[in-house]
Amino acid sequence: MKILKLKIYQPEVHYRVPYSYQRRFTYPIPPFSTVKGFLCNILGIKSNTDEDFVKMMSGLSIGIYGSYESFTKEYIWFRNLSKEWHNKRFGISTNRIIDGEPQHPGGQMPVKIDTLLNVNLMIYVYHPEYSFLAKIKRELENPKDRNSPLHLGRAEDWVVIKDVGFLENLNTDEIWRLDFFSWVPSADYFDRNFTISDYCKFFDSIQGIRMMVPVYYDIVEGQRIFTRYVEAKLFEGGTFNPIRCYVDNEENIPLILTRLGG
């Protein structure tokens, strides 16, 4: 088995919690939907009927680990350009003057956004077809098909690819500490290829907020509506009951991967 490992740096980023609105909360690491979209961007996938998307989701597993240096809050204006919102603010559709000054059209609302600074991520990607992983690596090194500049989070949250390569000749070890944020999937979603111990016992004992992490969404009337989630715990770093699994010895990271397809 070979795993593709990506080391990523982001100077500033927001991984939006989807049910937060007037204050936009961020996850400390990207959710599965964000990383899946990142891979689709790399491969130039535009819809879930594309051949590469069908192949990717036939056996995709990923692991997401990360840390950040600091945390801040930003205030921005959110604008709504619908006629209804414009009329609520200006009175009539032909007016754009408030207090004798021309204003932007539509409605507007101040929104607070939580932002992470100096983020470092390790993303592990597994697929039973090695050629598919090799294609991701090739497109990262010599891009020709990507849909837009590489980003994770918002469109302006660009990434720096620090390293990309394969983990080969993996070894198993008993590990009881992890110094990164990570998603720990429930027993229904973890990839059994990489974990040897009693995983159900491990999942029940590890500390973390249990939540439904978004994976898939549909666009309905211009809105992103999530339709599938993965049950996982958000582990915030520290010790846990020992688990025997495959390990990235360079980072001392247990390879607990989440199945998104297959």
DSSP letters spanning 55-79:
HHTTT-EEEEEEEEEEEEEEEEEEE
Q: Is residue 13 predicted with pLDDT exceeding 80? A: yes
DSSP letters spanning 80-120:
E--HHHHHHHHSSTT--EETTEE--SSEEEEEEEEEEEEEE
Q: Is residue 224 predicted with pLDDT exceeding 80? A: no
Average of per-residue pLDDT across 159-181: 93
Q: What is the mean pLDDT of the chain?
A: 92
Q: Is residue 4 predicted with pLDDT exceeding 80? A: yes
Q: What is the pLDDT of residue 35?
A: 96
Q: Is residue 120 predicted with pLDDT exceeding 90? A: yes
Asked if residue 86 lies in contact with residue 106, where contact means CB atoms within 8 angstroms, the answer is yes
| Percentage of the chain lying above the pLDDT 70 cut | 100
Q: What is the pLDDT of residue 230?
A: 94
Q: Count of domains in the chain?
A: 1
The residue type found at 143 is P
Q: Is residue 262 predicted with pLDDT exceeding 70? A: no
Distance CA 97, CA 79 (A): 16
Average of per-residue pLDDT across 21-43: 93
Q: How far is CA 1 from CA 57, 130, 232, in A?
A: 18, 8, 24
Q: What is the pLDDT of residue 83?
A: 87
Average of per-residue pLDDT across 181-196: 93
Asked if residue 211 lies in contact with residue 27, where contact means CB atoms within 8 angstroms, the answer is no
Helices and strands in the chain: count of H runs, count of E runs: 5, 14
- Residue 243 is part of which domain span? 3-259
Q: Which tens digit of pLDDT belongs to each residue from 89-107? A: 888 988 999 888 898 888 8
CATH number, domain with residue 117:
3.30.70.2660
pTM equals 0.90
Q: How confident is the model at residue 222 (pLDDT cuts 50, 70, 90)?
A: confident
Q: Is residue 122 predicted with pLDDT exceeding 70? A: yes
Q: What is the pLDDT of residue 62?
A: 97
Average of per-residue pLDDT across 71-80: 87
Q: What is the pLDDT of residue 219?
A: 76
Q: Which tens digit of pLDDT belongs to each residue from 200-212? A: 999 999 999 999 9
Average of per-residue pLDDT across 180-191: 96
Q: Is residue 221 predicted with pLDDT exceeding 80? A: no
Count of beta carbons in the 10 Å neighbourhood of residue 74: 12
